[in-house]
């Protein structure tokens, strides 16, 4: 055993804080870890103070030897942060020396930090390591809890602030219908709001002197939401049938927390203005429907009642004109009268087309574009005295389906305009009609070499009653009606025009072939 005790290397490993003192209390050897703290220690008395034992102990070899069977606590002197060593003296009788075996007395990781030591300075068996591991783990756990608590508090404040600042009444109940949270919008008085926490719905009604029957009805709704686990919706109406009427839409939303506890979120939205707006809108819609019906009836009546005498008058003028009983001057007057009646008839038909487009649904049928183009051209080519050439080109991958009446009106208006605003061009006046049809769209272009549209009028040609030319008369409804028809068919229309060089209209209309197939299946 003596050989083991005085094996310095073994002592370094087992007790890195050991010291050996001789009879004159001089320090002859110190452990490697202790030398880091007191590298120049020579005298035991100058280096250490007795903390334990204190009574009866003296700085004498025999006195220390007398107390060697006790636990010693020695404080290292002259340090900024005092360090205590806890251990036991062992007597080396062979060499008449005392050996102190111990280690720093550390009770917290703060104490450890102050020593400026490292874990590697301690022996593996030292209880200080266990203490440091435990305290370190506890500190980490504590720090994690502090961070977690801080995050929870921050999230709580965030959501409370969020709930407090949205224009909605919010209250949260537990499964015993006690308030767990109320936002500022539901109860504005902070003292009352805090007082209500953990109080019941009936406590609140009693505090406000409200009808207990209403409290029972509300509690029944809360119970229904929790029991059936589904949202319950109802309305509160205050000061009903007065100028101060207020309508609140309320919802009770049940949910469970992570531990399976049931809660209810109750929120209410003020829909007073929405309800008023809705009621007013319903009244105005009914009035508008009535006016639209009356207007449709009026337009239908006017167009039919006016057109009948106009057509009759036109027929009489044709008979008189063809009889040849008038002189050339009177025949010219008759011709002017006939043109005026034709313009009136055109206007009546345009009004009728506009009314029909606005009030009738789309009826998909297969469209023969060439037939409509030729028919329109034949009916209006004599509006001018010179010859106009019609060129047509149609490329179709499939049939084209759309609304027959609307497409007929669209083509007739554009062809009529092309003739009305044409120029003779030394016998080379033309209208070019082309169409490209596929499964998705029909793209139509109508080109002429007429007088064109002035640049400052081009952006307004699709507006109602707008007339872009003074060389021909018209109601200003034709292109407006074309635009309305295109909108009804979910299509697009555009133009390119150069004054005195002509105009090109490009129309894209969705092919209703798929819609027609679905209709047939139904």
Angle at 400 between CA 397 and CA 405, to 5 degrees: 160
**Within 10 A of 373 (CB to CB), how many other CB atoms are there?**
22
Quickly count helices (H) and strands (E) in the chain.
16, 18
Query: What CATH number did the domain enclosing 204 receive?
Result: 3.30.450.20
Are the C-beta atoms of residues 26 and 44 closer than 8 Å to each other?
yes
Q: What is the pTM of this model?
A: 0.43
465 and 502 within one domain:
yes
Residue 142 lies in a domain: no
501 and 366 within one domain:
yes
Q: Which of 229, 226, 171 is nearest to 204 (CA)?
A: 171
Tell me the three-class secondary structure of 345-358, residue by residue: HHHHHHHHHHHHHH
Residue 488 lies in a domain: yes
Domain with 224, as residue range(s), is 166-270
Residue 55 confidence (pLDDT): 86
Q: Which of 256, 154, 481, 183 is nearest to 349 (CA)?
A: 481
461 and 352 within one domain:
no
Residue 131 lies in a domain: no
Instruction: Determine the Cα–Cα distance for residues 258 and 95; give it in Å rounded to an integer.
Output: 71
311 and 245 within one domain:
no
Residue 4 confidence (pLDDT): 42
Angle at 49 between CA 48 and CA 54, to 5 degrees: 145
In the chain the first and final C-alpha atoms are separated, in Å, by 107
Average pLDDT, consecutive stretches of 10 residues, N- to C-terminus, the chain (522 residues) = 57 87 93 90 93 90 92 91 90 91 82 81 76 69 81 82 82 89 87 90 85 85 88 85 85 87 88 83 82 67 63 68 62 66 66 64 89 91 88 94 90 90 90 94 95 88 68 65 89 92 94 68 49
Residue 440 lies in a domain: yes
- In 29-170, alpha helices (H): 32-37, 44-47, 61-66, 109-115, 127-165
370 and 501 within one domain:
yes
Instruction: State how far the alpha carbon of 96 is from the alpha carbons of 26, 93, 272, 406, 474, in Å.
Output: 13, 5, 102, 126, 136
Residue 138 lies in a domain: no
Instruction: Determine the Cα–Cα distance for residues 191 and 169; give it in Å rounded to an integer.
Output: 17
480 and 386 within one domain:
yes
DSSP E strand stretches across 257-363: 262-270
Query: What CATH number did the domain enclosing 442 receive?
Result: 3.30.565.10
If you search the block for the tokens 């070499």, which residue do you land on? 449
Say how many domains are in the chain: 4
| Residue length of the chain | 522
369 and 297 within one domain:
no
**Within 10 A of 16 (CB to CB), how many other CB atoms are there?**
21
Residue 143 lies in a domain: no
396 and 289 within one domain:
no
Strands in 97-104's sheet, in edge-to-edge order, are 27-30, 19-21, 97-104, 83-92, 72-76, 48-52
């Amino acid at each position: 055993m003596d050989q083991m005790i005085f094996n310095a290397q073994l002592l370094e490993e087992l007790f890195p804080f050991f010291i050996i003192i001789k009879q004159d209390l001089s320090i002859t050897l110190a452990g490697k870890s202790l030398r880091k703290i007191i590298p120049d220690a020579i005298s035991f008395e100058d280096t250490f103070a007795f903390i334990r034992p204190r009574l009866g102990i003296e700085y004498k070899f025999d006195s220390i030897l007398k107390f060697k069977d006790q636990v010693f606590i020695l404080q290292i002197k002259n340090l900024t942060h005092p360090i205590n060593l806890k251990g036991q003296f062992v007597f080396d009788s062979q060499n008449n020396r005392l050996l102190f075996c111990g280690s720093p007395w550390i009770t917290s990781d703060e104490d450890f930090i102050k020593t400026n030591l490292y874990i590697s300075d301690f022996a593996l068996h030292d209880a200080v390591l266990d203490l440091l591991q435990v305290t370190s783990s506890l500190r980490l756990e504590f720090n994690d809890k502090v961070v977690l608590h801080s995050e929870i508090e921050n999230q709580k404040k965030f959501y409370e602030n969020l709930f407090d600042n949205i224009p909605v009444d919010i209250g949260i109940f537990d499964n015993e219908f006690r308030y767990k949270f109320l936002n500022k919008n539901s109860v504005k008085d902070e003292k009352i709001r805090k007082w209500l926490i953990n109080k019941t719905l009936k406590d609140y009604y009693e505090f406000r002197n409200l009808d207990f029957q209403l409290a029972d009805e509300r509690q029944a709704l809360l119970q229904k939401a929790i029991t059936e686990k589904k949202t319950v919706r109802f309305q509160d109406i205050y000061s009903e049938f007065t100028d101060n009427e207020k309508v609140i839409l309320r919802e009770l939303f049940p949910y469970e927390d992570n531990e399976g506890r049931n809660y209810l979120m109750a929120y209410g939205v003020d829909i007073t203005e929405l309800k008023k707006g809705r009621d007013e809108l319903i009244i105005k819609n009914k009035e508008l429907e009535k006016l639209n019906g009356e207007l449709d009836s009026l337009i239908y009546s006017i167009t039919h009642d006016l057109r009948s005498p106009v057509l009759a008058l036109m027929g009489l003028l044709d008979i008189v004109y063809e009889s040849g009983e008038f002189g050339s001057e009177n025949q010219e007057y008759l011709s002017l009268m006939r043109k005026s009646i034709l313009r009136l008839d055109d206007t009546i038909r345009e009004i009728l087309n506009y009314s029909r487009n606005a009030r009738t649904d789309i009826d998909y049928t297969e469209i023969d574009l060439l037939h409509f183009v030729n028919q329109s051209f034949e009916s209006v080519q004599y509006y001018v005295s010179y010859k106009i050439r019609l060129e047509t080109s149609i490329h179709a991958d499939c049939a084209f389906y759309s609304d027959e009446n609307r497409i007929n009106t669209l083509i007739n208006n554009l062809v009529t305009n092309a003739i009305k605003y044409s120029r003779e061009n030394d016998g080379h006046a033309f209208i070019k009609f082309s169409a490209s049809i596929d499964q998705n769209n029909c793209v139509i272009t109508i080109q002429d070499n007429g007088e064109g549209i002035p640049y400052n009028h081009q952006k307004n040609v699709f507006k109602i009653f707008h007339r872009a030319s003074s060389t021909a008369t018209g109601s200003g409804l034709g292109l407006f009606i074309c635009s309305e028809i295109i909108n009804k068919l979910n299509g697009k229309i555009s133009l390119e025009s150069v004054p005195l060089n002509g105009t090109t209209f490009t129309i894209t209309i969705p092919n209703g072939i798929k819609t027609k197939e679905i209709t047939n299946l139904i």
